[in-house]
Every structure is written in C-alpha cells, then in structure tokens.
C-alpha cells in the first residue's frame, strides 16, 4: 500500500487539541497487547477484546499483538489471529521489553489514539471507552486506568497492594508526580503527543510507563484518570524485585534529567485553548497571574534564605558586609529559581547571561538595602538588631517589586521564552529529530513473514 508522509508539526510546540471527526481516518484506535510466552492466554484475550470492541466501540479499531521475543507457541498463535481476524495485526520483536514493544508499534501506527493493555485483561473492558473518549474529543493528551482511585474496585493480595502504593508514594516524593497509578497496564495517548513524547523516553522495560507519564506531566500535558475494576492475575510472570530495582534506577535517572534541564519539554507545550479570546487579550500580558504567583513563592523562600544568611554573617562581620554577602548568595538562587519556575526557561542556553543580568538586578537591590541601612545608622547611631531586620524587610519588599518588573521586561522576556521553546537543545544521547509517522499501515505488515527464523524447533515468525 502506498503511504504519504504528513507535514510535520514544528518542534516549538504541539498544535491545539482537536476533536477527531468521524470519517477522518479509518482506524481511530490502535490497542497494543505486549506479550512474552503467553500461548495459553493470548487467543482468548484477543478474541474477547475484539468481541468487546466490535460491540461497543463506535469507531474503527485495530488490535496489535506485539510479541517480545517469545520462545513458545505465541508467534504461531499471533500469526493465526492475524490471518483470521481482519482487525488484528501481529508484530514480532527479537528483543524483550514492554517499553520497546510499545515504542516500536506506536511509532509505526497511523491511528490518532494509541492504547495498550496487559494480555491477562485484569482490567474490566468497560473502562476502555471512558479511557479513550477524552483523547478522541480533544480534551486530554494521555489517559490512564487507576486502581488507586476511591471508586475503583480491586481484588489483589496484600503484597502487591503494598508494593503498588509504596511505588506511587516514591514517585510523589521524588518526582512530584500527581497521577495516582503509574503501573496499571491500561493506558492511552494521542498520536500527535506520542510522536513528540516517545523519543524522549529512554526506558525500554517496565519503567517506560512511569517515565512517559512524568515527562508528560512536567510538560503540562493533560492526563485523564479512569477508575477501573481490576482483578489480580495470580499467575503473573513479572519479577517483582528486579522490576522494582530497575524502576528505582529509572526514578533517579529521570529526576536528575529534570533537575538539570536536560529534557526539551517545551516541545510538548500546548496552546492555552482553542477559544480566540484565550490567545488575544489586548493589554493583558501573557501568563502574568502565574508568573506573579511563582515569583511570590520564590521571593518568600529567597527572603527567608537571605535573612538566615544575614543573621549568620552578622555574627562575624558588620551589617554592610553581611548584607552584601547574604544578598549575593540569595540573589543567585533567586535568579535560577525564577528562571525555571516563574518564567519557564529550561536548559543551559543563555543561563550565564541571565545570571549576569540577575547580578545587575542584585546591584540595584543592594543599593536599596544598603542605602536603607546607611540611613538607619545615620538616624539612630547604633540600631538594635530587630530594627535592622525590619528596615531590611521593608527595603527588600521594594527591591522585590522592582526585581519582578526587571526580570519580566529585561531578563526573561517573552521573546526569549518563545525562542527557548523553539531551540531547546536536546540531550546528546537523545534523538535530535522526530521520526516521520506514516499515514497508513499495511493491512498485513512484514513484521510476521511466512518463513520462521526466530523460534528454534518450532514454526516461528520474525521481524
């Protein structure tokens, strides 16, 4: 089948979300089932899922079996289902890894909504349509099933319950994750988001889901959660200890990348909305309310740091030297925090210039506070420490207002933030370009040829 390449979206940001129109594409949903040695469960699972989608899903769909280098009869069963059922496609991978399977199949799929579920179908299929509906409507970018929502009904042993809740607690504490369930094998993502997001995800195993969700959340994408009914599979082959170890390594790696600004998350930014009134408001600076709130939080923390440093330095030096040293150290931290948190500038590009400009702003603040101390000393001769602190707080409030205005108008301008979104430098180990996505996928891909090569002593199929 001849395929055409669609025009790629510029890397500056994602386009506004749009409702998928009926008839816009033949296959709206592509459900991937990653499998490894699942000869017993595969055919009943696929037939049950196909029957459910045929009866309840109002759009065209595809079920893709992603075989992760199985060594039993899974490749044969996959190929047979591919031949018997029009909506089923089998893909063979020669390396294990759920993340690798999802990345491979999702990157090749032309469907605008991509989903996956575990082969055991532990999640009630009635949650599938609520899972993908917000993606079809354009409301959300990703969707996950949650076993930890209050209205979810879950049947599983205390060991897995403890592990699941402990893992999500670790994610909340270390990566500030706000989604409730990272491990449930029941997720979906819009195709245009996957095109940008998948090249940023490094993991190829079980941590793939978590990494994808953390990056999407940090980029400001909307994640929809669906409470699910879920029954544990007592015959699961997941190695809990090894998986937990790899997950913790992934948490450390992603946390470090986020802390250093190594990820070009601005490529995942969405416009504020599709209402023209949200984009063109005359006389209202863009993002002002959010910036003021962020600046106030950073300013409050910086002031506490400044006062603490001043009190420490004052034990050994005079008020002017203590003020200068405390203000210098807190100003460096203040500029770095406002650069990232208040004005959304990421990466190392122009960081030195921003710090230099911040030091100029620091000089203005130093002049205000030092002048206030000099005036106090001239007026009272030997002011009490509490009086010094009160004067410094008042002077810092005036310096803070001036600092915000200078940061917004001179240091972190709208033009710089827009340029940062377009030219954010990717991590050297990550792809520098987003691969093309075909607009169509053949009815019978070449991933399962007629000649076996992969499984010794059995009829098999190889990629």
Q: What is the pLDDT of residues 187-220, one digit of tens each?
A: 999 999 999 999 999 998 889 999 999 999 988 8
Tokens of 263: 């990820």
Answer yes or no: pTM beyond 0.75: no
| Residue found under tokens 């993908």 | 132
Q: What is the pLDDT of residues 1-22, one digit of tens each?
A: 333 334 444 455 677 778 887 6
The pLDDT confidence band at residue 450, using thresholds 50, 70 and 90, is: very low
Query: Is the pLDDT at 36 greater than 50, yes or no?
Result: yes
Eight-class DSSP state of 32: E
**Percent of the chain residues topping a pLDDT of 90:** 31
Residues 6+ apart with CB under 8 A from 133: none
Specify the range with the lowest mean pLDDT, choosing from 34-38, 217-221, 368-372, 453-457: 453-457
Query: Is the pLDDT at 151 greater than 50, yes or no?
Result: yes
Among candidates 268, 261, 254, 270, which has minimal Cα distance to 426? 261
Average pLDDT over the chain, rounded to whole?
79
Q: Are 36 and 70 in contact (CB under 8 A)?
A: yes
Among candidates 322, 364, 340, 304, which has minimal Cα distance to 424? 340
Specify the range with the lowest mean pLDDT, choosing from 99-103, 212-216, 449-453: 449-453
Q: What is the pLDDT of residue 8?
A: 47
Residues 6+ apart with CB under 8 A from 341: 294, 297, 298
Distances (CA, A) of 378 to 218, 373, 374, 382: 51, 9, 6, 9
Query: Is the pLDDT at 120 greater than 90, yes or no?
Result: no
């Amino acid at each position: 089948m001849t395929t055409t390449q669609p025009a790629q979206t510029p890397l500056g940001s994602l386009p506004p979300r749009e409702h998928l129109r009926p008839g816009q594409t033949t296959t709206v949903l592509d459900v991937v089932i990653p499998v490894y040695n699942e000869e017993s469960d595969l055919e009943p699972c696929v037939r049950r899922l196909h029957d459910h989608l045929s009866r309840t899903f109002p759009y065209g769909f595809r079920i893709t079996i992603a075989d992760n280098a199985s060594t039993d009869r899974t490749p044969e069963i996959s190929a047979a289902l591919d031949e018997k059922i029009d909506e089923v496609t089998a893909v063979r991978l020669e390396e294990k890894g759920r993340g690798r399977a999802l990345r491979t199949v999702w990157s090749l799929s032309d469907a605008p909504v991509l989903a996956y579920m575990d082969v055991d179908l532990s999640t009630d299929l009635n949650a599938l349509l609520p899972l993908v509906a917000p993606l079809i409507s354009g409301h959300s970018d990703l969707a996950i099933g949650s076993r930890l929502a209050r209205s979810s009904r879950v049947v599983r042993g205390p060991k897995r319950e403890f592990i699941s809740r402990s893992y999500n607690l670790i994610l909340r504490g270390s990566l500030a994750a706000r989604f409730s369930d990272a491990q449930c094998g029941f997720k979906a993502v819009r195709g245009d988001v996957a095109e940008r997001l998948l090249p940023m995800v490094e993991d190829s195993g079980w941590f793939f889901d978590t990494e994808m969700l953390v990056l999407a959340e940090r980029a400001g994408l909307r994640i929809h959660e669906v409470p699910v009914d879920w029954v544990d599979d007592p015959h699961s082959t997941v190695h809990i200890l090894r998986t937990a170890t790899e997950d913790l390594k992934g948490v450390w790696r992603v946390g470090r990348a986020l802390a250093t600004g190594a990820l070009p998350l601005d490529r995942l930014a969405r416009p504020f909305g599709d209402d023209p009134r949200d984009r063109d408001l005359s006389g209202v600076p863009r993002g002002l309310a959010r910036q003021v709130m962020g600046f106030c939080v950073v300013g409050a923390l910086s002031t506490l740091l400044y006062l603490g440093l001043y009190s420490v330095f004052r034990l050994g030096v005079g008020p002017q030297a203590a003020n200068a040293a405390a203000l210098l150290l807190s100003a460096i931290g203040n500029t770095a925090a406002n650069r990232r948190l208040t004005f959304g500038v990421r990466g190392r590009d122009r960081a030195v210039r921003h710090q230099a400009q911040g030091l100029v702003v620091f000089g203005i603040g130093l002049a205000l506070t030092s002048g206030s101390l000099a005036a106090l000393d001239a007026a009272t001769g030997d002011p009490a420490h509490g009086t010094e602190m009160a004067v410094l707080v008042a002077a810092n409030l005036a310096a803070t207002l001036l600092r915000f205005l200078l940061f917004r108008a001179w240091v972190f301008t709208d033009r710089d933030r827009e340029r940062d979104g377009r030219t954010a430098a990717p991590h050297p180990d990550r792809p520098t370009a987003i691969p093309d996505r075909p607009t169509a996928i053949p009815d019978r891909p070449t991933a399962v040829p007629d000649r076996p090569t992969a499984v010794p002593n059995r009829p098999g199929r190889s990629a």
